[in-house]
Structure 1
Amino acid sequence: MAMVHIYDGNSSTRLGIDNSVANGADARSEDRIRKPVKTFSEMRHALDDLLAANTSVDRLLIETHGSPGTIGIGCQAINYTMVDTWFGNRGYERLFPSGARIVFNGCNVGEGPDGWRFLEAFGSAFLKLNGGQVTAWTSAGFSSPFNGHVVHLWGDARGLILAPGGTITERLEA
């Protein structure tokens, strides 16, 4: 089984400081399959490659920019209303064994009612076969210059646990 890390590979500089998701992701040392992407089409292609290689993904970390109920890669954004259009009915649920975990490490993705809707949409598309857990942050974060990890100083993570078949069995708020 594998940990897969899909992240926004676009460069981003503000005030002369590299604040890109890629900067933090590239600084990490965990053993994982790294998939930097610059568009949602590339993200779908990365998932297609994993599917073609018959990869079993027990942990998926998706690190992008975000806002309530939305993830962003470069100048593109996908909110909960678009998840099924982009990722539904492509067989991605076959990537995830029972108990798999998907984590969105992006600012505010899980915040508010739209955050819940996003987790429901993504969990339904990706974990409907074997169940699992999908989680996202309700707060903004920043990349630590010491280890590249994104740090959330306030807010909580929230998540859903899905049973095989895609039924939501529990809502989690930390």
Structure 2
Amino acid sequence: MVHIYDGNPSTRLGLDNSVSNGADARDEDRIRKPVNSFSDMRKALDDLLAANTSVDRLLVETHGSPGRIYLGASAIDHTVVNSFFANRGYERMFPNGARIVFNGCNVAEGDTGWRFLERFGETLLGLNGGQVTGWTSGGLSNPFSGHVVHLWGAVRVLYFAPGGTILERFEQ
């Protein structure tokens, strides 16, 4: 598993609510890639591609809002995915059946959330297919395990066939 997460510090009401705080508490075997900007995220993917890394699972943990992820104060939505991530060869890293999870608050919420999942899925999973997942709710970080818990809302999953065609939209 490759774990790309927001490495920016973040404090609200005197509490550390940074994504990196939770990510650092995790104990899974993973390739850790803390990033502070979308250029850093692209560089992390470039490095994985240059190392010929096969990515069967990608966890992207950032703050989010409907149809957007944030790294620091910068946001990316479905309208700019291509300018940051398309035509760079990243789709070659993802084997058939790869899974991408965007674990950020409300990333998959509403029509913009579906478009966000679609665009990332088409861009990164278009060659071999797979699934891309996001949450429609806010989440709470468990300080003991580092996992983010979503207590309400739904999980949305898009399944892609090789070639990038959407096979199924799933919401639970």
Q: TM-score band, normalised by the shorter chain?
A: over 0.9
Structure 1: distance between partners of 2:82 and 2:101: 18
TM score, norm. by length of structure 1: 0.98
TM score, norm. by length of structure 2: 0.99
Match of 1:60 in 2: 58
- Deviation of 1:145 after TM superposition, in Å, equals 1.7
Match of 2:36 in 1: 38
Query: 1:2-151, aligned counterparts within 5 Å?
Result: 3-151=1-149
SS in 2 for 1:169: strand
Match of 1:156 in 2: 154
- Deviation of 1:146 after TM superposition, in Å, equals 1.9
In structure 1, runs of 5+ residues without a counterpart are: none
In structure 2, runs of 5+ residues without a counterpart are: none
Structure 2: distance between partners of 1:101 and 1:33: 15
SS in 1 for 2:119: helix
Structure 2: distance between partners of 1:4 and 1:146: 21
Aligned length: 172
- Paired residue type of 1:128: G
- Deviation of 1:74 after TM superposition, in Å, equals 0.3
SS in 2 for 1:42: helix
What RMSD, in angstroms, separates the aligned Cα atoms of the two structures?
0.5
SS in 2 for 1:57: coil
Structure 1 runs (4+) deviating above 6 angstroms are none
